[in-house]
Amino acid sequence: MHKLIFASHNAHKTKEIAAIFNGLFQIASLHDIGFFEEIIESGDTLEENAAIKANAVFGVTQLDCFADDTGLMVDALDGKPGVYTARYAGPERDANLNNQKLLFELQNHTNRTASFVTIIHLIFNGKSYQFKGELKGYIAQEAKGTEGFGYDPIFVPLGSDRTLAQMSLLEKNQLSHRAKAFQQMLQFFKEELT
């Protein structure tokens, strides 16, 4: 089976993605291949950061690989936190602090619309491709729910009255920005490999 390296150490995300690919590829994390060099995400956009991560792994391994980067874009805050989504409240990447900071900054705003965007940068047979998934919604008044991670407790998808953290993993995976981006990549492989 063809191996595809996921430029991440996150075992949970790797397992989630392996389930989407359902045996089409063997998905290996950086931990699985013994890659422990720190990759500095110095890009100004999600696209640049995803490319930096994928190119760093390809440069060392010369193997087919992909990386993703996700950002939360809040309209009233001119697209922030955006590329700084994970470290919005500081370099320690604390999800609770990020959520508190965002709720605080939105307290005087009536427009709470936002969107999650995931960009995937794939290097396959030496060529680069990018895929994008987006989930529109709004920021809730307070955190609710215990599932998921990151901003899930304060993000309500369009057409729902529950936050992502109030949904099961199965429900979230049917509508999430990450799932949409990976479905595009899966479609690409189905066309490429037939």
Q: CATH classification of 3-192, choosing from 3.30.70.270, 3.90.950.10, 3.30.300.90, 3.30.300.10? A: 3.90.950.10
Structure-token pair, residue 165? 């953290």
Domain coordinates in residue numbering, the chain? 3-192
Predicted TM-score (pTM) of this structure: 0.91
Distance between CA atoms of residues 182 and 118, nearest Å: 9
Which residue matches tokens 């590829």?
Answer: 25
Coil/strand/helix, residue 114: strand
pLDDT of 154: 97
Catalytic residue flag (residue 78): no
Per-residue pLDDT reduced to its tens digit, 114-170: 999 999 999 999 999 999 999 999 999 999 999 888 999 999 999 999 999 999 988
- What average pLDDT does this structure show over 175-186? 91
| pLDDT tier for residue 15 given thresholds of 50, 70 and 90 | confident
Indicate which residue of 69, 75, 152, 161 is catalytic: 69
Burial 4-23 (b: 16+ CB within 10 A, else e): bbbbbeeeebbebbbeeeee
Cis bond before residue 157 (omega within 30° of 0):
no
Adjacent-strand bridge partners of 66:
6, 122
| pLDDT tier for residue 188 given thresholds of 50, 70 and 90 | very high
Strands (E), 2-99: 3-6, 26-29, 65-74, 80-82
Separation of CA 7 from chain center: 12
Per-residue pLDDT reduced to its tens digit, 68-117: 999 999 999 999 999 999 899 998 889 999 999 999 999 999 999 999 99
Structure-token pair, residue 85? 């989504």
Distance between CA atoms of residues 121 and 171, nearest Å: 25
